[in-house]
């Protein structure tokens, strides 16, 4: 699948297999997963983490690097925005906010973020 425009990566969620509006590569804090070790239900590794508003996303791809897309991996507290993010291996993601909080998301990303 080709991206709709340069710098935009589609988002996959339960409502839409590939939302073409996606997330821009600029304007959102992002960080490479330093030693990818977390895989999603499809067995794809997470290579990058990013945040937009209260949403946190992981970037997944096929082993050959094709078919990249963002997948939601968690949420932070309402009324806050992600301003910093980091993950060593994808199983834990640290998220800083504009309200001075630091959240921790832990794989399998089904619970609320810990503040």
Domain limits, the chain: 8-106
Q: Can you say whether residue 43 is alpha, beta or left, with left for phi > 0 and alpha for psi between -120 and 50 degrees? A: left
Please list the residues that pair with 82 across neighbouring strands. 97
Q: Does 34 score more than 90 pLDDT?
A: yes
Residue 65: HSE in the Cβ half-sphere, 13 Å Cα cutoff: 0
> Quick one: what percent of the chain has pLDDT higher than 90?
48
Whole-model pTM? 0.82
Q: Which residue has the higher pLDDT, 112 or 4?
A: 112
Predicted local distance difference test score (pLDDT) of residue 24: 66
Predicted local distance difference test score (pLDDT) of residue 19: 62
Average pLDDT, the chain: 83
Could you report the per-residue pLDDT of 43-98, keeping only the tens digit for each? 999 999 999 889 999 999 988 888 889 999 999 988 999 999 999 999 999 999 99
Predicted local distance difference test score (pLDDT) of residue 25: 62
Q: Which residue has the higher pLDDT, 75 or 11?
A: 75
What do you get for the CA distance between the two ends of the chain, in Å? 37
């Amino acid at each position: 699948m080709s991206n709709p425009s340069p710098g935009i990566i589609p988002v996959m969620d339960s409502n839409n297999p590939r939302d073409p509006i996606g997330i821009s590569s600029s304007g959102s804090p992002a960080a490479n997963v330093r030693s990818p070790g977390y895989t999603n239900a499809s067995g794809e590794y997470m290579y990058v983490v990013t945040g937009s508003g209260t949403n946190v996303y992981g970037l997944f791809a096929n082993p050959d690097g094709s078919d990249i897309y963002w997948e939601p991996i968690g949420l932070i507290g309402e009324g806050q925005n992600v301003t910093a993010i980091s993950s060593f291996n994808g199983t834990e993601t640290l998220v800083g906010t504009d309200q001075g909080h630091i959240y921790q998301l832990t794989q399998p990303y089904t619970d609320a973020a810990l503040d």
